[in-house]
C-alpha cells in the first residue's frame, strides 16, 4: 500500500524512510518484543505463581537467564525502537491523517503500539536505575501495558504482512552504495547493531560476571556490596534491625497437622551443614553468585513431618511490604540446594543479607530469596 505523504511528510526525502528498511527493523523489533513478553511473563508468574502452576527448581540459572534476556535485551532494543520510529516518522504527518474508518482504527492501534513500546522501555530503564518519577507501581503498570503492546503488535504485523513479504523478499531497489554522503540502508543497520551492541556491552557484565569490568554503565556491579554481594533491600529499609539482632530470635515451623518446631540459631548451627554456590538473580536483571552455607529446608520440613507436596509460605521478620512472604513449592523445598542459609562466604550473614537466617534456592527471583526469616508455614 503506497501512502500519500504530503506536506511535512513529503520533505523526508532520505532513502532510509522506506518500506524495506522499515520491514527489516520491524522484524527484528518484533522478535525483541516477543522475547521480552515471554521472559516478562515467566518473571511475573514466577513471582505470582498461580495455584495450578508449580515451577521447577532446575535448571539452577533458568530465571537468571530469562531475566537477563529481558533486561539486557530490553536495553539493546532501545536503539532498534528509536531507529524504527525514525524510519516511520514521516507517516506521523501523512495527509489526510485519517482516510476512512478502517484507516482510523489502524492508526489507533499504531498509536497504542508506539506509546506502549516507548512506555515499556522508558519505565523499564528508569526502574532498573531505581528512579521512580511516575505515580504508578512499576511492576503492575509495566505488566499490564505489555498486553496492550503485544495485542497492538499482532494487529500491526497482520496489517503489514503483505508489505513485509513484498519488500523483504526482493533485492533493494535503490543504490546501497554512497547515498549522497548520508547513511545507506546497510549503514543504518550497522549503526543500529553497533548501538545495540554498545548498550549491551556496557551493561551485560552486571549479570555475566566475567564481563563485570566492562559494565561501566550498569546499575549494579557483581562483587560490590557487603560480603562482596549487592544488596537490594537493606535491613534499615525493611525495618528489621532490632528484631533480626535479637538474641532470642527463633525460626518457627508451623501449620497444617505437623509438629511445630522452634529453632534457635544454635539449633540451626547444630544441624548437618551444607554448602551451595547459588546466584541472587534480581528481577532488575543483575545477578551475582555466592557461596552459602546452612541447613537444608528439606531436612527441617521432614523433621517437622510436612506433607511431601505441601506448599510452604516463607515469612520474614519484616513488618510489611510486598515481599514480606514468599511461596515455596515442593520442587524447590525438596531440592538439596535449597537452604536456610546462615553463612555467606564462610562468615555469618551480614545484616543486609538477611542475618540471622535467609532462604536461598536455585531458579528463583531474588525478591523471593526471603531474608530475615521468622517462620515457615505449611499450607
Least Å from the CB of residue 219 to other proteins: 5
Compute the distance between CA of residue 20 and CA of residue 188 in angstroms, rounded to an integer. 12
DSSP notation for 18-38: SHHHHHHHHHHHHHHHHHHHH
Identified binder of other proteins from the candidate list 86, 249, 330, 333, rule CB under 8 A: 86
Number of residues that bind other proteins (CB under 8 A): 76
User: Hey, which residues between 122 and 161 contact other proteins (CB under 8 A)?
Assistant: 122-123, 125-126, 129-131, 133-137, 140-141, 143-155, 157-158
Q: Where are the alpha helices (DSSP H) in 61-137?
A: 62-92, 101-128
The stretch among 50-58, 219-227, 290-298, 328-336 that binds other proteins (CB under 8 A) is: 219-227
Least Å from the CB of residue 25 to other proteins: 14
Provide the grid cell at 315: 515469612
Q: Per CB under 8 A, does 300 bind other proteins? A: no
CB of residue 304 to other proteins, shortest distance in Å? 35
> Is the Cβ of residue 180 or residue 346 nearer to other proteins in the bound state?
180
Site for other proteins in 274-293 (CB under 8 A): none
Read off the DSSP letter of residue 61.
T
Q: Which residues pair with 292 in a beta bridge?
A: 276, 344
Q: Which of residues 17-36 bind other proteins (CB under 8 A)?
A: none
Question: In the 8-state DSSP scheme, what is residue 131?
Answer: -
Which residues share a beta bridge with 262? Answer: 252
Q: Is 199 in the site for other proteins (CB under 8 A)?
A: yes
Q: Which window, 169-177, 220-228, 260-268, 294-302, contacts other proteins (CB under 8 A)?
A: 220-228
115, 254, 265, 271: which one contacts other proteins (CB under 8 A)? 115
Burial of residue 152, with CB atoms counted within 10 A of its CB: 0-12 exposed, 13-18 middle, 19 or more buried: buried
Report the nearest approach of other proteins to the CB of residue 173 (Å).
Answer: 21
Query: Among residues 42, 71, 75, 87, which is the contact residue for other proteins, using CB under 8 A?
Result: 75
Does position 45 interact with other proteins (CB under 8 A)? The reply is: no
| Dist CA 379 CA 312 (whole Å) | 6
Whole-number Å distance between alpha carbons of 237 and 230: 15
Contacts of 327 (CB under 8 A, 6+ apart): 49, 311, 312, 313, 314, 368
Q: Of 26, 79, 354, 356, which lies in the binding site for other proteins, with binding defined by CB under 8 A?
A: 79
Q: Would you say 45 or 89 has its CB closer to other proteins?
A: 89
- The smaller minimum CB distance to other proteins, of residues 155 and 271, is found at 155
Select from 33, 63, 109, 355 the one that contacts other proteins (CB under 8 A). 109
Question: Quick one: 148 or 208, whose CB is closer to other proteins?
Answer: 148
| H/E run at residue 288 | strand 287-296
Binding mask 338-377 for other proteins (x = CB under 8 A): --------------x-------------------------
In terms of CB distance, is 45 or 131 closer to other proteins?
131
Question: Which value, to the nearest 10 degrees, does the dihedral of the CA atoms of residues 36, 39, 43, 48 take?
Answer: 100
For the bound state, the minimum distance from the C-beta of residue 266 to other proteins, rounded and expressed in Å, comes to: 30
Q: Which residues contact 169 (CB under 8 A, 6 or more apart)?
A: none
User: Helix or strand or coil: residue 344?
Assistant: strand
Least separation in angstroms between residue 364's CB and other proteins is 20
Site for other proteins in 225-244 (CB under 8 A): 225-226, 229-232, 234, 236-237
Euclidean distance between CA atoms 256 and 263, whole angstroms: 18
Q: Return the HEC string of 184-217.
A: CHHHHHHHHHHHHHHHHHCCHHHCCHHHHHHCCC
DSSP 8-state class, residue 328: E
Q: Which of residues 168-197 bind other proteins (CB under 8 A)?
A: 178, 180-184, 187, 190-191, 194-195
Provide the 10 A C-beta neighbour count for residue 139: 18
Amino acid at each position: 500500500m503506497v501512502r500519500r505523504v504530503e506536506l511535512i511528510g513529503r520533505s523526508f526525502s532520505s532513502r532510509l524512510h522506506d518500506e524495506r528498511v522499515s520491514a527489516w527493523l520491524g522484524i527484528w523489533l518484533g522478535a525483541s518484543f516477543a522475547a521480552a513478553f515471554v521472559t516478562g511473563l515467566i518473571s511475573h508468574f514466577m513471582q505470582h505463581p498461580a495455584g495450578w502452576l508449580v515451577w521447577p527448581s532446575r535448571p539452577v540459572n533458568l530465571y537468571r537467564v530469562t531475566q537477563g534476556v529481558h533486561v539486557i535485551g530490553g536495553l539493546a532494543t532501545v536503539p532498534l525502537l528509536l531507529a524504527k520510529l525514525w524510519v516511520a516518522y514521516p507517516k506521523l504527518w501523512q495527509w489526510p491523517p485519517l482516510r476512512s474508518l478502517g484507516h482510523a482504527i489502524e492508526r489507533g492501534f499504531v498509536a497504542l503500539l508506539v506509546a506502549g513500546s516507548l512506555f515499556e522501555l522508558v519505565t523499564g530503564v528508569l526502574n532498573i536505575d531505581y528512579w521512580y518519577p511516575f505515580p504508578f507501581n512499576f511492576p503492575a503498570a509495566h505488566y499490564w501495558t505489555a498486553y496492550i503492546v503485544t495485542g497492538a503488535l499482532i494487529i500491526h504485523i497482520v496489517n503489514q504482512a503483505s508489505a513485509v513479504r513484498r519488500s523483504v523478499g526482493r533485492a533493494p531497489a535503490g543504490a546501497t552504495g554512497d547515498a549522497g554522503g548520508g547513511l545507506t540502508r546497510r549503514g543504518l543497520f550497522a549503526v543500529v547493531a553497533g548501538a545495540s551492541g554498545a548498550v549491551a556491552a556496557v551493561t551485560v557484565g552486571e549479570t555475566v560476571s566475567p564481563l563485570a569490568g566492562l559494565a561501566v554503565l550498569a546499575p549494579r556491579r557483581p562483587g560490590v556490596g557487603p560480603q562482596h554481594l549487592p544488596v537490594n533491600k537493606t535491613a534499615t529499609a525493611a525495618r528489621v534491625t532490632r528484631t533480626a539482632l535479637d538474641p532470642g530470635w527463633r525460626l518457627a515451623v508451623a501449620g497444617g497437622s505437623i509438629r511445630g518446631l522452634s529453632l534457635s540459631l544454635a539449633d540451626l548451627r547444630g544441624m548437618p551443614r551444607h554448602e551451595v554456590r547459588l546466584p541472587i538473580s534480581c528481577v532488575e536483571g543483575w545477578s551475582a553468585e555466592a557461596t552459602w552455607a546452612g541447613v537444608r529446608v528439606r531436612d527441617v520440613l521432614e523433621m517437622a513431618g510436612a506433607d511431601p507436596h505441601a506448599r510452604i509460605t516463607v515469612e520474614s521478620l519484616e513488618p510489611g511490604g510486598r515481599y514480606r512472604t514468599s511461596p515455596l513449592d515442593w520442587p524447590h523445598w525438596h531440592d538439596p540446594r535449597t537452604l536456610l542459609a546462615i553463612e555467606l562466604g564462610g562468615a555469618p550473614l551480614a545484616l543486609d543479607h538477611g542475618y540471622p537466617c535467609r532462604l536461598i534456592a536455585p531458579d528463583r527471583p531474588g525478591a523471593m530469596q526471603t531474608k530475615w526469616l521468622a517462620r515457615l508455614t505449611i499450607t
